Each structure stands twice: as C-alpha cells, then as structure tokens.
Structure 1
Amino acid sequence: MNCDVLILSGLCNSGPEHWQTQWQARHPQWIKAAHRDWNCPDREEWVAELDAAIAACQGAPILVAHSLGCLLVAHWAQSGSPLKAAGAFLVAPSDVEAPSYPAPINGFAPIPMAPLPFPSVVLASANDPYITPDRAQALASGWGSRLVNLGEVGHVNVESGHGAWPEGERLLQHFCDQLAQ
C-alpha cells in the first residue's frame, strides 16, 4: 500500500490480535504513535504526543485511528498545530459524552464538532456498544467526513471478530487511492 500511515490506537491500546497491530506487521514502514498511559489517557498529553509523532513523519501521514483515537484526531485538529495530516481513516469512534460510556476520560468531552482540515472517513457499526448510529452520523457530519456504515459489526475490534480485518484494509487502500488523485 503506497501511503504513509500513522496508527492511533484507542483506550487500552491495540493488542497483538487487533487489526491495527496486524496491519502494522504487514506494513512495517507504518508507524504507531506512542502514548504514555493507554489505560487513563490525558487529552492534552496525548494531543502533544500525536503532534510529536506527526512531526517525526517524513510527510503528512494518513491517521488511522480506532475508538478513542478518533476523538484524539478531532482534538489534535483543533489544537492549532501547524503540522498537517493527509487524511484520517476513523474507525468506530467512541461517544465519551454518552452517559453509558464506561471509562473515565480526562478532557475528551466535549467532542469537537468542527470540520477536520483534511479529508476523512468515519467507519461505524450499526451495533457498536460505544456509539449509536445517529451519533456516529452526527460526528461524521460535524467533522465533514464521509460516513461508511459497516453494518452490525460491533466495535470493530478483536472481541467483535475483527482480527486481521481485510475488508478494512481494502477500504483504507481505496481511501489512500482517492487521496492520491
């Protein structure tokens, strides 16, 4: 795949069976952004870490984010950083504003609803336990992203049967091809 990718995991990181980890293993030139505390992330710290990871890239990367990582992208885009992203591939964003959201999150709410300053696509599930379809649509609209409804596929993680997730990799390839045009 001919695109520079920066992988952004969500809360608790992506384990060895997660599609992000498997994709990175198949594409060793892709970088995974580091984070100090995957289990209790602080938004300001994580945004600064993302900014440093983007600065270390050769050019403007495509941000491939999962879950809370999608909100990280939205917060980074509003941070005023002079750095650029080529695009964002946002998979299964979490709605930290929902009363049912299970984890304590430091600084991720409210979720920025301004258009992202780069092309983006939100891939959402019809039965994700961390976001409703209507809320996924609202985030995509607010961010100026194209929305892809993946059907009833859970949170698009190992627990929902998405290990290697070849369909997602094909969708990312299509997104990369569109950006190259």
Structure 2
Amino acid sequence: MLLLPGWQDSGPGHWQTLWETQFGDLRVTQHDWMQPLRGDWITRLEEVVQEQDGPVWLAAHSLGCHLVAAWAAVSRSTGKVQGALLAAPPDVAQADFPPQLHRWATPVLDALPFASALVASTDDPYCSLAAAEQYARHWGAALHNIGPRGHINSESGLGDWPQGRALLLSQK
C-alpha cells in the first residue's frame, strides 16, 4: 500500500499516518511538501512503484489524487496498480487555489487504467461535490459521497478510517 499525501503532507492524526503506523503502509515522501512540483512528484512516485516487487494499491489524499492522475498518464508502471483510493481531490480551478500549487492548476483528466474509488464529502472547503463528480467521471472512478466530512482528513473524525481501507482493497 502506497500512501500519497497531498500538499504539506499528512499530520499525526490523519488516516494515512494511522495506516502507516498500524499496517506498515509506505508513505511516498516527496522532496518538497510546501512548493510541490508536479514533475518531481510524478518522478518520485514512479521510482517508488518500480521499487516494489509485487502489486501496489494507491491511497491518495487531496493533491495526491491529482498526482495519481498525472502519474498514470505518463507511467509505464500502471500495470502494477491493483486499485486506487482518491480521497478529497481539491478543485484546482477554484479562484482561491493556493499560489504555491500553480503548477497543478491544469488537471490531468485522462481515465485511469486501473480500478479506483473517489471519496468526496458534501462540505469539503477545497472541492464542491459537483467538481468531485466531474473528476470521478473523467478519471473513471466510482464516486462515494460520505456526507459532511470536510476535507476527509484528521479534522473529519475518521480515525484510522476502516471504511476507506475496505473500499480501497475492494478495488480490482
């Protein structure tokens, strides 16, 4: 299981961090969490996927969802991916999208070549449900609306989010 945090990484109470601690999942550590360069993040993910001997699952949060889409569009290693969880992708077209993320402002909207589930909430401050539905449609991901859970992070009260893990492992 490869964990793909978003901008600024995932903190101590985040479900990705809890999965890393409980299950030994591998966090894909990026060179720069504060000024993320799409090409650098894609290269790093490709390196980590190629280092894995067997199949992988991708558990992405926030900007990590856009990383999955951008990586899948150029990678030769997508055949290793058994499934992906795309939790709370931000709407990169929002007027107040942070300037540090300007290199991500044009999203990759190609269909993913592996099974995926996009999990969205009805009150995510970074992405409307309508925008999440559009991403799911473009990426060919099954959309799962989990109601009012904010940005599906540590503040969402999900703990180690067993439902998210089960959803990811059901992708094949």
TM-score, normalised to structure 2, is 0.93
Tell me if structure 2 keeps the 8 A contact 1:44–1:107. no
Distance 1:103 1:169 in 2: 32
Residue 178 (structure 1) shift: 4.6
- The alignment of Structure 1 onto Structure 2 pairs a total of residues equal to 170
Q: Structure 1, residues 96-153: CA drift from partner, whole Å, max 9, x if none? A: 2211223521421211111001111100001100000000000000001100001011
Q: Structure 1, residues 51-88: CA drift from partner, whole Å, max 9, x if none? A: 00101112231110000000000000112x21122221
More divergent stretch after superposition (59-68 vs 162-171):
162-171
TM-score, normalised to structure 1, is 0.89
Query: Match for 1:151 among 121, 144, 147?
Result: 147
1:82 aligned to 2:76? yes
SS at the partner of 2:136? helix
Q: What are structure 1's unaligned runs of at least 5 residues?
A: none
SS at the partner of 1:117? coil
Q: What are structure 2's unaligned runs of at least 5 residues?
A: none
Tell me if structure 1 keeps the 8 A contact 2:109–2:135. yes
- Residue of structure 2 equivalent to 1:69: 64
- Residue of structure 1 equivalent to 2:88: 92
Distance 1:36 1:68 in 2: 15
What are the within-5 Å matches in structure 2 for residues 13-52 of structure 1?
13-28=9-24, 30-52=25-47
Distance 2:9 2:146 in 1: 22
Residue 95 (structure 1) shift: 1.1
Tell me if structure 1 keeps the 8 A contact 2:115–2:171. no
Divergent runs of 4+, >6 A: none
Structure number with higher helix proportion: 2
SS at the partner of 1:90? strand
